[in-house]
């Protein structure tokens, strides 16, 4: 969609124009089921994420066909500033696993993103926090995976 292209390519002026006239649907997914917010977050387009979060029509919780949300994509790709904006914007799903059972923390660990791991570990929303001790389907914790991947900075962050 035009909104997805503008958001994912960081064309903030075009995105603001599309959102401003009220005719473009800011939630219309692309062929992978990703919303413009998800696309902008995954591509690290922080300005676009801000613009989308200011639009009251945007579904902050939308997930793609694999149930991955904007926070998940920002964590996988290591976009610290974008994640900060999503968390401040009270986007849900900070500890929500996708269809493969991977929560945003798992994506950050796999991709050796210690600053994102620290942000997730410190984040609180409505009294809820990321479960650092949650075991996956094979009985492994985040710390176990970080050690296996050989990411000492992530181990320290946990």
Q: Mind listing the pLDDT tens digit for each residue in 134-151?
A: 888 889 999 999 999 999
CATH number for position 75:
1.25.40.20
The boundaries of the domain holding residue 58 are 2-157
Which letter does DSSP use for residue 128 in this model?
E
pLDDT in tens, 7-28: 999 999 999 999 998 999 999 9
Number of H helices, E strands in the chain: 10, 2
State both tokens at 39: 């696309």
Q: Read off the pLDDT of residues 52-81 as tens digits, 9 standing for 90 and up.
A: 999 999 999 999 999 999 999 999 999 999
CA distance 152 to 66: 29
Total domain count, the chain: 1
* The predicted structure's pLDDT at residue 119: 96
Question: Given a cut of 80, is residue 128 above it in pLDDT?
Answer: no
pTM reported for the whole predicted model: 0.94
């Amino acid at each position: 969609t035009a909104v997805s292209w503008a958001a994912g390519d960081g064309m903030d002026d075009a995105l603001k124009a599309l959102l401003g006239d009220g005719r473009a649907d800011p939630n219309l997914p692309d062929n992978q089921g990703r919303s413009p917010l998800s696309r902008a977050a995954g591509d690290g387009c922080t300005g676009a994420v801000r613009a989308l979060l200011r639009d009251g029509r945007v579904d902050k919780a939308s997930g793609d066909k694999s149930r991955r949300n904007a926070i998940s994509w920002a964590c996988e790709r290591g976009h610290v500033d974008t994640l900060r904006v999503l968390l401040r914007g009270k986007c849900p799903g900070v500890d929500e696993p996708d269809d493969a059972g991977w929560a945003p923390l798992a994506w950050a660990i796999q991709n050796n993103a210690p600053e994102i791991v620290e942000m997730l570990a410190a984040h609180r929303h409505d009294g809820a926090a990321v479960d650092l001790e949650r075991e996956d389907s094979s009985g492994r914790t985040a710390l176990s995976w970080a050690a296996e991947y050989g990411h000492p900075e992530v181990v320290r962050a946990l």
